Structures are given as C-alpha cells and as structure tokens.
Structure 1
C-alpha cells in the first residue's frame, strides 16, 4: 500500500532534503521563500576570543642520526670529567629511570620548549640504541599549563594547580610524542598519585603497565597526576616519585636532571662554593646547604638530595646533574654528582612499607619496645604498646612511634584495632592462645633505625 505522505525531495548532491534545509535555515534564524542559493551567512558574528599563548605542536621531522648531544658547558667545569665504579655501573645500566625537571622543559613564560625536549629525546634515544630500557619521569605539567592559562606564577591553591596540570599534561604529552616520533618511537603516559603507590595492588598494576610499555618498545612517560592528587596525598615532588619508580621498576640506576650541574656545598652562585662529585654516605653531606625549588618547580636541590638518598637506600645508584649535560650523563656518566647505593639495601617489601605505603593507624610504644624493634630487630609485642590511634583491620600497615610521638617505623599489624586495644600492655603469657602472635612480626616490620646513614 502506497504511503499517503508526500515523498521528500532529496538533493543527491548534498544528501539534504528540503525539510533539512528549512530546519537549518530556521536554526540560523534566516527567513526565505524558496530554495537556498549561495553561501549562508551566519546569523551572529563569530566572536573574537583575544590572543592567548596557545601551544601548537610542531611538525615531525624524522631524525637522520642517533647520537648523544655534546655537553653545553666548559670542559674545565668542576662537574665534568669524573670517574668511579658507580659511574661505570650507571653508564652500563640495563634499566634506567631518567627524571627531568620543569625548568628543563619550559621557557621563561612557562610554555613548552620543543627544542629542549628534542635535545633530551635525542640523548634518550641514543641510550636506548645501546639496548637500555628507559623510563622517563617528566615534571612540567603544571608549568606547561601556566602559559596557556596566562598565569604569571605557579599557582598555590589546589584548584588552580589542578586546572593548570590538566592543560599542561596534554601539551607535555603532545611534545614528547612529537619528539620521539622523529625516531619512529611511541610513548605511553603513566599518571600516578601517592595513593596509587601506597596501595600494593595499585603499585603492582603500575609496575605491570610500565613493564608492558617497555616490552612493546614504547617509552613510559611518568608524572604525578596533579589533576586529582590532593595536598595531603602527594609525592611532594617528582624527584621523590622518580626514586619510588626506580624501586617499583627494579631499575639499575636513576639519573636526576635539573638546572644545576651537580651538588655544591652551598649555592653554586657563591664564589667559594665547592663541588661534591661523590656521595657515599652522610659524612659527605656534612655542612652542605641545599635550597628549595624555583618559580616553575617544586623540588630544589634539597628535594633532589633527599630523593637520591632514598633511591640509594633501595640499592639504586644515582647521578645528579643538569639537563645541559644530558648527553654526557647518559653516555659515560662522567658529569655531575654520583650517589653510591647502600650496601645493606632494604628488601622491596620493607622499602615499600617505609616510603610508599599508606598507613591506616598508629601504635605508640614505650622506650623498651622501641629499643627492641629498632636496635635488636625483634617483633613488636602487645606489652610494649601504650596507645593505639585509628581504626584498622588485620593485615593493614600502621605507623610505629616512640614515646615522644616520633615515627620510628612501619609494619603490617596482626590484629584489628578493636582486638589490639584489649591487648595493650599485656605480656604474651597473659593472653589467650588466639592472641599469642606478635602485634607486628619482625619479618613484616621496617624501621628507620639506620636512617642517619641515608
């Protein structure tokens, strides 16, 4: 049966019906009495949004050679020409984490600097050409977002910082992708928060993602996820993140790149500042005065030294130098300051507990218990506990503090907080059979008792 409706008149050239045209015209606020002819003028003028420093990724120009960039400093510089066995280990490392600071990736206006990124990518590609697996920890998301958002200084309030990071992460990833595309190489972005590292299951997931990216020939670009991280749950700076990623990825070495060519005993701008080529332990840091971060960054030399010592505690050697020396750093590692790894390295689990795990509660100890767990490396018994803070379940990580409230360690608790409350101060002989286990067994207890050597 034929339809009683009139057939629609369709223009095969435009695949648009008369009814569609009428609708479009009505939507534009135009009146007409017949078919539309010629270009349609918009009913409202297109507004002008002003001129903002919008980032435009450059073209991908394929690289013709793979080589380390030459250092941009005087060969007579005190940071150049050093050798040691630990530097040889860094130069031969099969799995390497390289951290790059914000100031190394942006110009003075906070805009992404493609030329700087290209120089770094050239050095990274040259190192990968040797067969090294590379993981990049890249700062710069907040700094890169400042220019496009017309922020004159690094934001201090959380909402603006997160907004800048959300803009900057896109721009930063675009430039890393463009730069590595010159070598036909793909990147993968891995955004982490402190809570991700603090949960063992999330930490393993991040580890698997990074490993799989490397297996597929892609370069993992790791950054703190500033768009969701809160001030209470932050790594604090990407230097610390790099140290934790080095542990997480079982790296053989860590290279920290910034705007300073190494560690000095004071501000290198001062004429009597002395360069420190090797750091084997705390004695090499006596009298050293390290500063805070600059306008675009959050780290500063103090954060870098802390991160280097943290990585060395995990058994990872560290090289600290400037981005201008990236070629020499990744080639022979004969520049900057080398931090030697600690010989009595912590196990992977104990390192994670101390420096990454999220704590669910707090156990206060008397002086005798502190002595037992820190000096004698014994299990923590309920008799030595004086108070409990927080609500937690069996198997969670808790802080262990001394009578003054100072944190001395962390461990995996064997009881939930409600049951442990009833065991405080009691000797094992006075407890029922169900409660004769230690509150925290020594195998699952990690202390800062040798922190002074970090």
Structure 2
C-alpha cells in the first residue's frame, strides 16, 4: 500500500467530498438509498475514531424535481432558486440519515469570500473546530442561493481542497460517479487506470473530461486540479466512486491516490497561494521566473516586463511567465500606478525609497504551473 493510501486509511481527520451525480438523478431529485449508503460508510469510519467533514454537492439537483425542472438550469437566478429549495431537502436528508447513528449534523454554507478574506478564513476555521470538538458532522456546500459569478468557487472539488487545508485534515477523499483517473475516457474502452500520482509527470498527456450525468459542475478535470492543490500543500488525496465509499474510507485500496508533498504548507501560505483572490498580474522575464520559482527569491522590479489589473500595495497578484502561465502568487508592495515607472530597472537605478522588492520572498508562494 502506498504512503498516500496508508495516510488516508489511518487519518484522524478526513474531508470527504461527494458529487451531485452520486446523490441525485435528473428529474427525480435526491436518491435517498445512495445518500444512506454514503452515510453508512462515513459512520463506520467515524466509529473508528476519525473526524469527518463532508463537502456535499446536490442542492441544485435536489431542488430540480420539486420545481418541475427536467434539466439543470443554466441561468444563475434559476440555479439559486433550485438551490434554495434543494438545500433544505439535502440538509433534512443528511440529518435523518446521520440520525440513524445518533450523529448530529451541522450545515456550513460558504462562498469564496469566506476563504478569500483572511478574517473570514479564520472565522471559518473556528466554526469547524468547534463543530468537530462537539462531535457534530459539518456538512459543507457552496452557498448557491446567494453566490454570484464573481464570488463562486466554481465547483465543490476546489471547495473541498480549500476546506481540507482549512480544517488541517489528514486526507481528502473525492467521491463521484467515476471510480478512478484514467488516461482517456473510460467509456471509450482501451484506457488505462491511473492508480497513483506521485508527480506532475504522471499527469502528462492525460485527457480528462466531465461527469456523464450532466448534473455536476466539475468532472474529472476539477477533481485532478483539486487533488493537485491539496497534495502540493501536504494532504494526501483519493479519487474514487461513491459506490466504493466503504472501501475508500476503509483501507483506501480503490481509486487513484495522489501522494502528498513531504511537508504541510502553512495556513497563511496556502491561503495566499490557493484561496486569496488575485487583483492583477505581474509579467516576468525568464530570469525572474527562475529566481522566484526555483530559488524562492524576492521579485525585483528589474525582472518585471508588464503589469495588468487594478491593485494596491498589500493586494495579492499573480506572477505570470511568457507562456501566460501563473507560476507564483504574492503580496505586492506597490500600487499598480507606481509600477510602470519602476519595471525593468535595477534597484540602484531607482530612488532610495523605491529600492524594495515588488513582492518579498516571505509574501510569495510558487505554484505548480497553471494556465492564466
């Protein structure tokens, strides 16, 4: 058994995420039998002494049938209406199902604002900590009833990876209607199951797509992105089918495991790299990219080739290479209006009061490359 699977099998605190397609059926709403089966697996794991935080999709899917919607709505207003109806049904179903084991459920609805804003992030940490200390099962979802496009997480896989770090989880389990990561579409045949991902090279050339149900917003692409984020921050990840939940939460001998980085990223650095909202971009030359990413040095004005956005000193910005890939994020020390006169100049060419790093190494997090 790999180190990632061993870590998940022995974890004292797990975040488990389940997708809409695993809980709901188009036109029929919640599938209580499948929800109960998931709760059975979670309760069994909790009986072994593990604390569980459940990130659950399904609110919009659960609200579709009561509102006579035959397919997932595409406009935001109808999505929010369906979520407002479905969220009640979903919470009620979980309360009843966990109640079979005398377990109490606490609902936690989040928007990205709750993790983007540092003060909100700390408040969320305290809420989760207290719920778990009281023996409750936090059931988390994006607050679809009020979230707008500007403040959405985009999918609950990303939300789950953020919550996993926020609650200091020992592992993250992503459950859906797909049993593992494959090197192509498993419905086409002739594909190979990827049982373990140890590095970025294991993902090269893979073609991953969306769920076949049409109910979710993520698919395998979002699961891989979430798994990479969590694993890079030191959290082992398992992608598996919801129908295999008992095995996934048992010996973790199913699905695809993502091996975690050897050290856990601090809460502040994780927030900076993956949770905080970016207000702009700084474009870097090759020398600056090497200094920032490989040598973990501060970003100086001389290595910047361009600026984009509307930010002030103290905001978070993306650092981008010539291929338009975000290679790092950091807290900028200058307003956007100040930088055009500074970029490309060595420190000795600048006035003394401006001879400081544009992004200091202590306020900078290199990232695994992602398209900007």
Interval containing the TM-score (normalised by the shorter chain): over 0.9
Deviation at 1:334, TM superposition (A): 1.5
| Superposition RMSD in Å | 2.1
Q: Does 1:196 align with 2:114?
A: yes
Unaligned residue ranges in structure 1 (runs of 5+) = 1-82
Q: Which residue of 2 aligns with 1:143?
A: 61
CA shift in 2, pair 1:398/1:285, >3 Å = closer
Equivalent of 2:173 in 252, 255, 265? 255
- Determine the C-alpha separation between the residues in 2 that align with 1:144 and 1:281: 37
Q: Could you say which structure has the larger radius of gyration? A: 1
- Determine the C-alpha separation between the residues in 1 that align with 2:201 and 2:295: 25
- Tell me whether 260-269 or 118-127 shows the greater mean CA deviation: 260-269
TM-score by length of 1: 0.76
- The one-character-per-residue Cα deviations of 1:131-171 (angstroms, maximum 9, x if unpaired) are 11110000001111111111111111111111111111111
- Determine the C-alpha separation between the residues in 2 that align with 1:352 and 1:168: 30
- The one-character-per-residue Cα deviations of 1:69-88 (angstroms, maximum 9, x if unpaired) are xxxxxxxxxxxxxx333212
- The one-character-per-residue Cα deviations of 1:252-293 (angstroms, maximum 9, x if unpaired) are 001111112222222323342322222222333344322213
> Residues 256-295 of structure 1 correspond to what in structure 2 (within 5 A)?
256-293=174-211, 294-295=213-214
Q: Which residue of 2 aligns with 1:89?
A: 7
- Determine the C-alpha separation between the residues in 1 that align with 2:323 and 2:37: 51
Q: Does 1:378 align with 2:292?
A: no
Deviation at 1:249, TM superposition (A): 1.1
8 Å Cα contact 1:383/1:426 also seen in 2: yes
Unaligned residue ranges in structure 2 (runs of 5+) = none
CA shift in 2, pair 1:406/1:335, >3 Å = closer
- Determine the C-alpha separation between the residues in 1 that align with 2:294 and 2:100: 55
Deviation at 1:316, TM superposition (A): 0.9
Higher normalized strand content (fraction of residues):
2
Deviation at 1:90, TM superposition (A): 0.7
- The one-character-per-residue Cα deviations of 1:320-355 (angstroms, maximum 9, x if unpaired) are 111111111111111222111123664433332222
TM-score by length of 2: 0.92
Q: Which residue of 1 aligns with 2:84?
A: 166
8 Å Cα contact 1:110/1:145 also seen in 2: no
- Determine the C-alpha separation between the residues in 2 that align with 1:151 and 1:87: 40
Report the secondary structure of 1:411's partner residue. Answer: strand
> Residues 45-444 of structure 1 correspond to what in structure 2 (within 5 A)?
83-293=1-211, 294-343=213-262, 346-403=265-322, 405-444=324-363
